[in-house]
Amino acid sequence: MRNILFLIFLCFLISCKQPINQETRIKEDVTFLASDKLEGRQTGTKGEKEAASYIEKRFQELELTPKGTKGFLQPFTFKPKTNPHEAIKFDVNGDGTITGNNVLGFIDNKAENMVIIGAHFDHLGFGGEGSLYRDSIKEIHNGADDNASGVAILLNLAAKLKAKNTKNNYLFMAFSGEEMGLLGSNYFVKNPTVDTQKVSYMINMDMVGRLKKDSALAVYGTGTSPIFKQTLKAHNNRFKLIQQESGVGPSDHTSFYLADIPVLHFFTGQHEDYHKPSDDSEKLNYEGMETISNYIFNIISDLDDNGKLAFRKTKNESEETPRFKVGLGVIPDYMFDGIGMRIDGISEEKPAQKAGLQKGDIVIQLGDSIVVDMMSYMRALSVFEKGNSTKVVVKRGDEEVEKKIQF
């Protein structure tokens, strides 16, 4: 009798189990992926493999179907470039090769078309190339925002889409090798494990963990399908959207756009911790991440019965980007939509710091050139060489301040 009563009590407890708080789960995913244990998740390292294993287990929990070449994993082997103008060669043998792993999970709704949802999970390890950390002592770059945040939202969307919006299939992809040049997404597009002719569109999330008080959210690729802009607007009651039409940019959505697939890329902006050891999990806005996840889910839901989306080529702004011989040593605020170029961070011992520029200054003139936006700032900067000096005028509060810059 006691055993029967115990079983009844146990069943009662199970039936009363509270649903998982998704914001809490997002934080748990970020905290693990951005922990010191994973040593910065650099492609080819033990930490990257542990991160891939964690994502694989989360896919299993969510009852996704494996879509890699080895279960959930899609390994790719490459040799790092010594010449920056050479293309990466995959599937090579010999000394100096590195093996990364994409992680792929699938929701099969027996639909005609599919949606790809992606985020890279690799980061910079202990720094090295790509790091903006200037101390001589190596430190782990945990990459909480870049890009444990994107992976956590990817997992959150997988939970939301399970048995929902069944008019599309869904492929969830956690890419490796992004920090080395979009390698994982590039490899997948060249060696797909699904029929990419069936892909309706691709959504990418990279650095989506620092939603600020003004709720500015950048969305790239809005011109890659005619329906995107109206859909983004229809479901936006929270964000200050900053839209870019181009499908080309410094994240994995570019690989899919170049394969003629419509793309949307979400980004909450750069910050002073970008590519530094200080990009840690406690600095993320988890409520904001859940809000972004809900927004993306609503967009996917709206597009569910639209069939395969039309693809449209866009102007490639990167082809117009000037080449630089010098830099100011600042982190631009890419979310700023006012007149000028607002400084979001200052690098130590660089021209901007030495001249006395500050975070929050808005550059409105560099040399003889008036600066009205990011492109005009880059054009103004491109004319200078090392050893040149010039003036820079910034707006600081209500004042205009002039400083001398030595490159």
- CA 277 to CA 232: how far, in whole Å? 34
pLDDT band at 164 (very low <50, low <70, confident <90, very high): confident
Residues 6+ apart with CB under 8 A from 59: 66, 72, 103, 105, 158, 172
H or E element that contains 303: helix 286-303
In the three-class reduction of DSSP (H, G, I as helix; E, B as strand; rest coil), residue 183 is classed as helix
Residue 19: pLDDT over 60: no
- CA 265 to CA 26: how far, in whole Å? 19
pLDDT digits (tens, 9 = 90+) for 197-246: 999 999 999 999 999 999 999 999 999 999 999 999 999 999 999 999 99
pLDDT at 17: 47
CB 121, CB 185: distance < 8 Å: no
Residue 376: pLDDT over 80: yes
CB 280, CB 140: distance < 8 Å: no
Residue 83: pLDDT over 70: no
Residue 30: pLDDT over 90: yes
Q: Which long-range contacts (CB under 8 A, 24 or more apart) does 343-349 make?
A: 343/394, 344/269, 344/270, 344/271, 344/272, 345/270, 345/271, 345/272, 345/274, 347/132, 347/134, 348/134, 349/134
Q: Stretch 104-123: mean pLDDT, rounded? A: 97
pLDDT at 55: 98
DSSP 53-115: HHHHHHHHHTTPEE-SSBTTEEEEEE---SSTTSPPPBS--STT-EEEEEEEEEE----S-EE
CA distances from 332 to 143, 151, 272, 360 (A): 19, 25, 10, 10
- CA 103 to CA 67: how far, in whole Å? 8
- What's the full length of the chain, in residues? 407
How do the residues of the chain divide into helix, strand and coil, expressed in percent and rounded to 5? 30, 20, 45
Residue 366 phi, psi (nearest 5) = -135, 115
pLDDT digits (tens, 9 = 90+) for 144-160: 999 999 999 999 999 99
Q: Stretch 238-258: mean pLDDT, rounded? A: 94
- CA 303 to CA 291: how far, in whole Å? 19
Which of these ranges, 275-279, 291-295, 323-327, 354-358, has the smallest mean pLDDT?
323-327
Residue 129's nearest CA partner among 75, 89, 182, 181 is: 181
Query: pTM to 2 decimals?
Result: 0.85
pLDDT band at 363 (very low <50, low <70, confident <90, very high): very high
The CA radius of gyration of the chain, in Å to the nearest whole number, is 23
Which domains, ranges and CATH numbers included, belong to the chain?
20-317 (3.40.630.10), 321-406 (2.30.42.10)
- CA 130 to CA 77: how far, in whole Å? 21
CA distances from 205 to 92, 233, 329 (A): 30, 19, 26
pLDDT at 110: 95
Residue 9: pLDDT over 70: no
Which of these ranges, 92-106, 176-190, 201-215, has the smallest mean pLDDT?
92-106
H or E element that contains 159: helix 149-161
H or E element that contains 231: helix 228-234
Residue 1: pLDDT over 70: no
Could you count the other beta carbons within 10 Å of the beta carbon of residue 400?
12
Q: Which residue type sits at 166?
A: T
In the three-class reduction of DSSP (H, G, I as helix; E, B as strand; rest coil), residue 304 is classed as coil
